[in-house]
């Protein structure tokens, strides 16, 4: 099986043109005509993941986050990005990133996975892109949906912590007694707070809010910041299942490396 076949399939799920302008999704190392010996799925294609791929005889790494966001001027191993790229090229390993294009799709996307984990129904794109659709469905940032029944806020936060396997939730003032309408955005979602408020969501589940941005909740919505890695880690399950269920000519592996750079001291 050639890599091009896998890439074509993944682009049917999340077409490359749906990525944001700042993004660098796509094939970062490797060539489309290489034969696949095995695939390793991860969130972050860092050096330890490349080592894991080598040990598993995988010559393709499918990641959510691009290891390269900006142009590299030197390749001398001065930082983790350069070391990763050097090692991948040296061992003929392809790195493919499926990032904001996977964020922006409705079906089989990052936010659909979060919504599924916390049990939302009647989901819609939170901030649709105008006049752009994929498979006759709107595309865009974030998602909004409903819990089957309202939950007390503290009950919902416990539910969220359990379903997303969280160590901690940072949140704003509990200004809602009950939670039913929930907005979500995997990764950095502060840019969608205004839209979450306009949509009358009770709570916005996302990550990477800065200190002063929390004040913008203004007691009209609860912000639940669950962490960047934590909000997107089930994207690995999503990609693993998609590849496993559609290809049988090579082995697909789920990374065992926890790439979250943030640690917690209790």
**Residues 25 and 68 sit within 8 Å (Cβ to Cβ):** no
User: Which of 75-84, 130-139, 173-182 is predicted with the least confidence, judged by mean pLDDT?
Assistant: 130-139
> 224 in a domain, yes or no?
yes
DSSP structure class, residue 108: T
pLDDT (average), residues 121-140: 93
What domain count does the chain have?
A: 2
Q: 170 pairs with which residues across the strands?
A: 225
The alpha-carbon radius of gyration of the chain (Å, integer) is 19
Nearest to 81, CA basis, from 119, 121, 29: 29
Average pLDDT estimate for 74-98: 96
Which residues partner with 128 through β-bridges? 140
d(CA 14, CA 188): 19
> Does residue 69 sit within a domain?
yes
* pTM for this model (two decimals): 0.95
Work out the widest C-alpha separation in the chain, in whole angstroms: 56
> In this structure, are 117 and 47 located in the same domain?
no
The torsion defined by the Cα of 239, 244, 249 and 253, in degrees rounded to 10, comes to: 70
Choose one of 80, 99, 118: the last residue of a domain.
Answer: 99
Neighbours of 118 (CB within 10 A): 17
Q: Answer yes or no: is 255 within a domain.
A: no
Q: Looking at the predicted structure, is the pLDDT value of residue 209 above 90?
A: yes
Residue 265 lies in a domain: no
Please indicate, yes or no, whether residues 55 and 158 belong to a single structural domain of this protein: no
Residue 130, pLDDT above cutoff 90:
no
Per-residue pLDDT at 132: 87
Query: What is the DSSP pairing of strand 94-97 with strand 26-29?
Result: antiparallel
Range of the domain at 128: 104-231
As a whole-number percent, the residues of the chain with pLDDT over 90 amount to: 94
Average of pLDDT values for 9-33?
A: 96
Residue 245 lies in a domain: no
Please state, in angstroms and rounded to a whole number, the distance separating the CA atoms of residues 262 and 32.
34
Same domain, 83 and 162: no
Paired tokens of 6: 């896998």
Do 84 and 193 lie in one domain? The reply is: no
For residue 233, what pLDDT is reported? 97
Q: Does residue 172 sit in the same domain as residue 224?
A: yes
Alpha-carbon torsion 107, 109, 217, 161, what sign?
positive
CATH code of residue 75 = 3.40.1390.30
84, 99, 114: which is the final residue of a domain?
99
On whether residue 74 sits in a domain, the answer given is yes
pLDDT tops 90 at residue 213: yes
Per-residue pLDDT tens digits for 250-266:
999 999 999 999 999 98
| Domain contains 75 | yes
Q: Does residue 260 sit in helix, strand or coil?
A: coil
Structure confidence by residue, pLDDT tens digits, 33-73: 999 999 999 999 999 999 999 999 999 999 999 999 888 88
Predicted confidence (pLDDT) per residue in 155-200, tens digit: 999 999 999 999 999 999 999 999 999 999 999 999 999 999 999 9
27 burial (CB, 10 Å; 0-12 / 13-18 / 19+) is middle
The residues near 74 (Cβ < 8 Å, ≥ 6 apart) are: 82
Residue 116, C-beta contacts closer than 8 angstroms, at least 6 positions apart: none
Q: What is the 3-state secondary structure (H, E, C) of 119-164?
A: CCEEEEEEEEEEEEEECCEEEEEEEEEEEEEEEEHHHHHHHHHHHC
Predicted confidence at residue 266, as pLDDT, reads 84
């Amino acid at each position: 099986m050639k890599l091009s076949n896998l890439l074509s399939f993944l682009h049917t799920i999340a077409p490359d043109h749906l990525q944001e302008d700042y993004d660098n999704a796509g094939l970062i190392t490797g060539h489309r005509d290489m034969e696949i010996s095995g695939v390793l799925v991860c969130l972050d294609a860092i050096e330890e993941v490349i080592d894991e791929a080598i040990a598993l005889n995988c010559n393709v790494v499918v990641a959510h986050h691009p290891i390269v966001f900006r142009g590299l001027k030197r390749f001398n191993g001065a930082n983790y990005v350069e070391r990763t790229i050097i090692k991948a090229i040296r061992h003929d390993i392809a790195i493919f990133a499926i990032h904001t294009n996977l964020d922006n799709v409705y079906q089989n996307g990052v936010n659909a996975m979060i919504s599924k984990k916390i049990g939302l129904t009647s989901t819609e794109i939170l901030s649709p892109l105008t006049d752009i659709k994929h498979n006759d469905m709107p595309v865009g940032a974030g998602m909004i949906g409903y819990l089957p029944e309202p939950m007390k806020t503290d009950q919902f936060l416990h539910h969220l912590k359990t379903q997303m396997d969280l160590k901690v939730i940072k949140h704003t003032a509990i200004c809602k007694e009950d939670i039913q309408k929930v907005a979500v955005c995997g990764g950095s979602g502060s840019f969608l707070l205004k839209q979450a408020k306009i949509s009358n969501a009770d709570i916005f589940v996302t990550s990477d809010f800065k200190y002063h941005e929390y004040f913008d909740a203004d007691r009209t919505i609860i912000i639940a910041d669950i962490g960047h890695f934590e909000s997107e880690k089930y994207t690995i399950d999503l990609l693993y299942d998609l590849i496993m269920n559609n290809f049988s000519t090579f082995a697909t592996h789920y990374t065992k490396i926890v790439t979250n750079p943030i640690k917690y001291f209790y």
